[in-house]
Amino acid sequence: MIDRHEPTRVIALVLAAGHSRRFGTDKRQARLADGRPLLSATLALATRCFAEVWIVVRQGERPAELSIGHAPHAVQAPSDAIGLGTSLASGVSALLEAQADAAAVAVMLGDMPWIQPATCQALARAASASRIVRPRHTGQTGHPVLFGRQFWSELAHLRGDRGAREVLKTHADACDFIDVDDPGILLDIDVPADLSG
């Protein structure tokens, strides 16, 4: 009998609740050089590469207000001014409450549209419930980071602006690195000049 390995189901969680203070305006709707809105481009990438897409937005926001077309599952941040850790915790808590059927979550930042689909697909192939999978380009780690379900409860308790650094540090022995020829894993948009890529 042939053993047919079913691909691991990975849900993308796009963090988009920040206030773009360095950018000066709401960068989520800023236009890339090709005319696409920034957040729309990141969501299109996530939709192309992962089984399901969830997004964390600001308190009181609806995805339709962000001009992102077909809205993924939306989670509202718990308050208006939160850090990356709290935003991540809100999204993962929602996945747990919904009993989301996935072995791993791909944590994506809403301002990183230049990651190559092949990178996301390679990460998804390496994902499992008990591992953390990280892309690496020229020795530098980037995004997205895929967290196996085993780590979700820890992510759900994060607070502040430290992101998942403590989880990554605590579970360094569970991290797998995938080397990719993709500078997009390191490129985020902080100021308007970054929109050209």
What's the domain range around 15? 10-196
Structure tokens of 8?
């691991």
Q: What is the predicted pLDDT for the residue at 77?
A: 83
Based on the structure, what is the number of domains in the chain? 1
Q: Considering the domain boundaries, does residue 22 fall inside one? A: yes
Q: Considering the domain boundaries, does residue 1 fall inside one? A: no
Exposed, middle or buried: residue 106 (CB in 10 Å: 0-12, 13-18, 19+)? buried
d(CA 164, CA 83): 11
pTM: 0.92
Question: Residue 12's Cα: distance from chain center in Å?
Answer: 6
Q: What is the predicted pLDDT for the residue at 80?
A: 60
Q: Considering the domain boundaries, does residue 5 fall inside one? A: no
Question: Angle at the Cα of 126 (from 108 to 113), degrees rounded to 5?
Answer: 25
Q: Considering the domain boundaries, does residue 113 fall inside one? A: yes
d(CA 45, CA 61): 22
Q: Considering the domain boundaries, does residue 137 fall inside one? A: yes
Q: What is the predicted pLDDT for the residue at 28?
A: 87
Q: Considering the domain boundaries, does residue 63 fall inside one? A: yes
Q: What CATH number corresponds to the domain at position 32?
A: 3.90.550.10
């230049």: which residue's tokens? Answer: 114
Structure tokens of 130?
């008990």
């902080």: which residue's tokens? Answer: 190
Q: What is the predicted pLDDT for the residue at 5?
A: 45
Strands 10-15 and 104-109: parallel
Q: Indicate the SS3 state at residue 142.
A: coil
Ordered per-residue pLDDT tens for the chain, 197 residues = 333 345 579 999 999 988 777 787 888 888 998 998 899 999 999 999 998 999 999 888 877 777 776 667 889 888 766 688 889 999 999 999 999 999 999 999 999 999 999 999 999 999 999 999 999 999 999 999 999 999 999 999 998 877 799 999 999 999 999 999 999 999 988 877 877 76
Q: Considering the domain boundaries, does residue 176 fall inside one? A: yes
For the packed helices 117-126 and 38-49, what is the interaxial angle rounded to 10 degrees? Answer: 40
Q: Considering the domain boundaries, does residue 4 fall inside one? A: no
